[in-house]
Amino acid sequence: MNWLTDAKLVAAVSNAGGLGVFGPNPSQTKMIHGAESHMNQMRHQIRLAKQLTDHEFGINIVIEDKPAIHMNETLKVAFEENLHYFAVVGDPNQAVYDQIKAHSGIIIARPLTPTIYNAQLAERLGADVFVATGYDEGGILPQSGQGTFTAIPMIADALNIPVLAAGGINDHRGVNAALALGADGVYVGS
CA atoms of 170 and 172, how far apart (whole Å): 7
Indicate the average pLDDT of the chain.
Answer: 88
Considering only residues 34 and 131, tell me which one the structure prediction assigns the higher pLDDT: 131
The distance from CA 9 to its chain's CA centroid, rounded to whole angstroms, is: 15
The verdict on 12 and 103 lying in the same domain is no
CATH number at residue 117: 3.20.20.70
pLDDT for 18-42, tens place per residue? Answer: 999 988 776 666 665 667 777 888 9
User: Burial level of 142, CB count in 10 A (0-12/13-18/19+)?
Assistant: buried
What pLDDT does residue 23 have?
84
Question: Per-residue confidence at 65, pLDDT binned at 50, 70, 90?
Answer: confident
Tally of domains within the chain: 2
Give strand pairing partners of 108: 87, 129
The verdict on 57 and 94 lying in the same domain is no
How many other β-carbons are positioned within 10 Å of the β-carbon of residue 102? 9
pTM of the model: 0.90
For residue 124, pLDDT beyond 80? yes
For the residues 86-93, what does the mean pLDDT come to?
94
pLDDT for 141-187, tens place per residue? Answer: 555 667 889 999 999 999 999 999 998 898 999 999 999 999 999 99
The CA radius of gyration of the chain, in Å to the nearest whole number, is: 16
The verdict on 105 and 179 lying in the same domain is yes
CA atoms of 180 and 190, how far apart (whole Å): 23
Question: Per-residue confidence at 79, pLDDT binned at 50, 70, 90?
Answer: very high
Residue 153 sits in which domain range? 84-190
The verdict on 34 and 92 lying in the same domain is no
71 domain-assigned: no
Considering only residues 188 and 107, tell me which one the structure prediction assigns the higher pLDDT: 107
77 domain-assigned: no
